[in-house]
Structure 1
Amino acid sequence: MRSVARPTPHPPGEVLRVATYNIHKGVRGLGPAKRLEIHNLQMGVEALDADLVCLQEVRLFHHREAAYFDRTWFGWPEKGQAEFLAPEGYEVAYRTNAITKFGEHGNALLSRWPMGDIGHHDVSDHSLEQRGLLHVPVHWHGTVVHVVVAHFGLIHSSRMRQVDRLAAFVRDNVPEGAPFLVAGDYNDWGERLDTPMRAHGLRRATAPHGRARAPTFPSRLPVFALDRVYMRGLRCTGVQVPRGPSWARMSDHLPLVVELALE
């Protein structure tokens, strides 16, 4: 798979290239049509050529799926999905959000740049949805950029409370004035989170002279902009959503790629 072209002409290193991608646990389809996509996703993640890859619905292990796909040609990876997906030379951070009968899943960050201490904060709003924030300081060109990977709930009122919990976490754990971004799947079908995010000093990464919306879901015919990056102390210089048959089959979401520069 070819590398995804850069949306702006900046040479590598002048901007921080950030991708966010819900990988749907590396599996697509149901019943006899169920297929393992984690090997294709490995090539897809590398093709993004991002400095930071923020992933949601990532498995460390799952006993039933591992047994089911053991008879397929490539089979279930022996290592956790975050480590399996990381291109050569990238550092990996992973923390579990949800524990299920046969395994678990959570958020991950793959970074081309050195990482600091990895943190995790539970923002679950009720017992039926286990949600968390993965927090990692990243050392980029002498600057520490604080990165949070998030996956918000399915109910709007839950998401609103999770915005408030995110803001409280940032106040308590991110130095005032430090560059900060939170990337992930917000499940915000009606696009109602921009206003409360702005109230907490976070603005959405949008192309400087393009459309604000960048639909990523569903991957075959994207209509909803569920996947986003919010930020402070950074400005967005470009936005891109890779499309095509290969991307459409790997997950029910498309990846979102943004390029950021320090303000």
Structure 2
Amino acid sequence: MHTLRVATYNIHKGVQGLGPLRRLEIHNLTLAVESLDADVVCLQEVRLHNSRESKRFPLWPQQGQADYLAPPGYEAVYRTNAITRHGEHGNALLSRWPVLACQHEDMSDHRLEQRGLLHVKLQIYGQEVHVLVVHLGLVKASRVRQVAQLQRFIVREVPLHAPLLLAGDFNDWGSSVQKALAGSQLHVWGVRQPTFPSRLPLAQLDYVFARGLTPLSLSAPQGRAWWRMSDHLPLIAEFALSDAI
């Protein structure tokens, strides 16, 4: 048995605050992501470029945020979900294990919310492990349809007996998403680990679902440094992965 450490984190596009108090946090997020010491880091609200923010902040990185945040030795995968007036944003995955393949699927349910699914196949301890990174909609009816689309995608693209991780910001304040995904044999811990809002976490909007892996632990770092960087806390999950046959 091997231990696999997975983190999911909505980084709020690397910027925090409102109006003249807006501040660039992407440099602090670089240190934060490295401190997670995760084998796989799943990120939401990641920017490749933004013309307005790059003009506002002189220290705006020249690289896309996924590449900028990747610790030494990690491979970054990024795909755009939403096109905006000044740029775009999407989902990313950072991996210390080799990336075998990746693809993206549009999950937008209506014109006001552009959403997507990032599917990355990794080689971990000699096994092919599938990882899906998502950021579901704010409207409950949209999430119901997006979960159904997600389930169809899994049936179509992920072999039944392959280890599978599904991580991201599910925007679900209740348990409807958990109940729906249980039908696809994707499960989470029975205990809550609030991640939102980061300053005073009351709800768990971020999850790491798994199929074919044994859960070991679940945690979310707390404190001022974390709530200054994003409106979400990162969620860290550890699993046991059986030896390849």
Contact 2:48 2:89 (C-alpha < 8 Å) held by counterparts: yes
1:222 aligned residue (183, 194, 201): 201
Runs of 4+ in 1 over 6 A off after TM superposition: none
1:30 matches 2:18: yes
Question: CA deviation digits over 1:25-73, x for unaligned, max 9?
Answer: 0000111100000000000000000000000000000000000002xxx
- 1:262 and 2:233 aligned: no
Letter of the structure 2 residue corresponding to residue 112 of structure 1: R
The 5 A counterparts of 1:114-129 are: 114-129=98-113
| Residue-by-residue CA offset, 1:188-226 (whole Å, 9 max, x unaligned) | 01232111111122112x2xxxx6100000001000000
Provide the C-alpha distance between the structure 2 equivalents of 1:63 and 1:135, rounded to a whole number of angstroms: 28
SS at match of 2:62: coil
1:150 matches 2:134: yes
Does the 8 Å CA contact 1:217/1:252 hold for their aligned counterparts? yes
Which residue type is aligned with residue 248 of structure 1? W
Q: TM-score, normalising length from structure 2?
A: 0.97
Aligned residues: 242
- The RMSD of aligned alpha carbons is 1.0
Amino acid corresponding to residue 218 of structure 1 in structure 2: P
Per the TM alignment, residue 91 of structure 1 is displaced from its structure 2 partner at its CA by 0.5
Gaps of 5+ in 2: none
Aligned ranges 1:116-195 → 2 under 5 Å: 116-195=100-179
TM-score (norm. length: structure 1): 0.90
Q: Which amino acid aligns with 2:162?
A: A
Contact 1:219–1:254 (8 Å) recurs in 2: yes
Is 1:232 the counterpart of 2:216? The answer is no
Q: Structure 2: how far apart are the matches of 1:233 and 1:90?
A: 24
Aligned to 2:176, what secondary structure does the other structure show?
coil
The one-letter code sitting in structure 1 at the alignment partner of 2:97 is: W
Amino acid at match of 2:29: L
1:107-157 deviation per Cα after TM superposition (whole angstroms, max 9, x unaligned): 000000001111001111111111110000110001111000000000111
Equivalent position to 2:32, from 16, 26, 44: 44
Which shifted more, 104-113 or 229-238? 229-238
